[in-house]
């Protein structure tokens, strides 16, 4: 694997390989490689807690040296393009770049770079490492994807998680369904839209999405009513009780408690929300390790 830009670029065998590698790191059956004189830069042009922190821990566990980069103190503030920023970091010695950007498909302008790029989220496009950690979490529960009924609820149109997971989970054999307000449907994805209350008893995984207010227009945001949304599309206690005994709840976070999920359900027995966060660090270790091994980076 030379880069990780989109789930569309991964084969199912590559997905399984990454899950196995991440699981081996998690359970201590494979020691983490330690990369000598290998430098990484994390370029986060959007706010992040889980993704950025788990990449930082993953990189340090692998022994990478971090290049200090903050957008608010960089030449980005002087109008420097993303390409020129990345090319500069390549020239000063970066071996891999982790990038989150507000621009969908930002990576298309970086194709001539000579170092790998890991997409940590691009606008409303893709979030491949989130999808991979979700896949790992599901695999820990079911050890298969064939025939699993997965319901993704919320702001489908603006969610890179919905797009990445729809593509990958469908390829792995799962049945993916959406539930969403009409104005947040994404007609580019060929999944059925269903009534959440009609399908819940048949669902194995319910995946809730944050409402992406930062990607909505001002009028759309001002008209949003929390209680109405929660009652129509949120996971309430009543809906929780309709789930199968072995069903699990997922959420890419940050969680808006009382909006997409009732406060008391975030850490309910069926919830795997914090387990996803734990798995994220191991999956990001696996991704970085895979890419650096492909490039033949030396290890201690």
- Binding-site members for L-aspartate are 78, 160, 210
Cα separation of 169 and 151, whole Å? 11
Cα separation of 22 and 295, whole Å? 19
DSSP 10: -
Q: What is the largest CA-CA distance in the chain?
A: 57
Cα separation of 242 and 227, whole Å? 20
Cα separation of 72 and 77, whole Å? 6
Q: Known binding site: residues? A: 50-51, 78, 100, 127, 130, 160, 210, 253-254
Which has the closest alpha carbon to 112: 141, 147, 86?
Answer: 86
Cα separation of 284 and 225, whole Å? 36
DSSP 215: G
Which has the closest alpha carbon to 265: 246, 245, 239?
Answer: 239
Q: Known binding site for carbamoyl phosphate: residues? A: 50-51, 100, 127, 130, 253-254
* Dihedral pair phi/psi, residue 236, rounded to 5°: -95, 170
């Amino acid at each position: 694997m030379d880069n990780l830009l989109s789930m569309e670029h991964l084969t199912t065998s590559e997905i399984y390989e990454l899950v196995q590698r991440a699981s081996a790191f998690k359970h201590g059956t494979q020691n983490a490689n330690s990369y000598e004189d290998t430098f990484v830069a994390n370029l986060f042009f959007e706010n992040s807690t889980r993704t950025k922190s788990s990449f930082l821990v993953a990189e340090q566990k692998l022994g990478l040296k971090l290049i200090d980069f903050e957008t608010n103190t960089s030449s980005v503030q002087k109008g420097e393009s993303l390409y020129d920023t990345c090319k500069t970091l390549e020239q000063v010695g970066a071996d891999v770049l982790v990038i989150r950007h507000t621009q969908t498909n930002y990576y298309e302008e970086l194709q001539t770079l000579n170092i790998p790029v890991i997409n940590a989220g691009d606008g409303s496009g893709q979030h491949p490492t989130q999808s991979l950690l979700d896949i790992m979490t599901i695999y820990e529960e079911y050890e298969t994807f064939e025939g699993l009924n997965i319901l993704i609820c919320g702001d489908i149109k603006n969610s890179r998680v919905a797009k990445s997971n729809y593509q990958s989970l469908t390829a792995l054999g799962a049945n993916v369904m959406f539930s969403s307000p009409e104005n947040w449907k994404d007609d580019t994805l060929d999944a059925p839209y269903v009534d959440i209350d009609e399908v819940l008893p048949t669902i194995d995984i319910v995946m809730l999405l944050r409402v992406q207010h930062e990607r909505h227009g001002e009028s759309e945001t001002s008209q949003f009513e929390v209680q109405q949304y929660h009652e129509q599309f949120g996971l309430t206690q009543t809906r929780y009780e309709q789930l199968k005994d072995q069903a699990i709840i997922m959420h890419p976070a940050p969680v808006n408690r009382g909006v997409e999920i009732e406060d008391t359900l975030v850490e309910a027995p069926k919830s795997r929300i914090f387990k996803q966060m734990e798995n994220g660090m191991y999956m990001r270790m696996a991704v970085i390790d895979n890419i650096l091994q492909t490039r033949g980076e030396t290890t201690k």
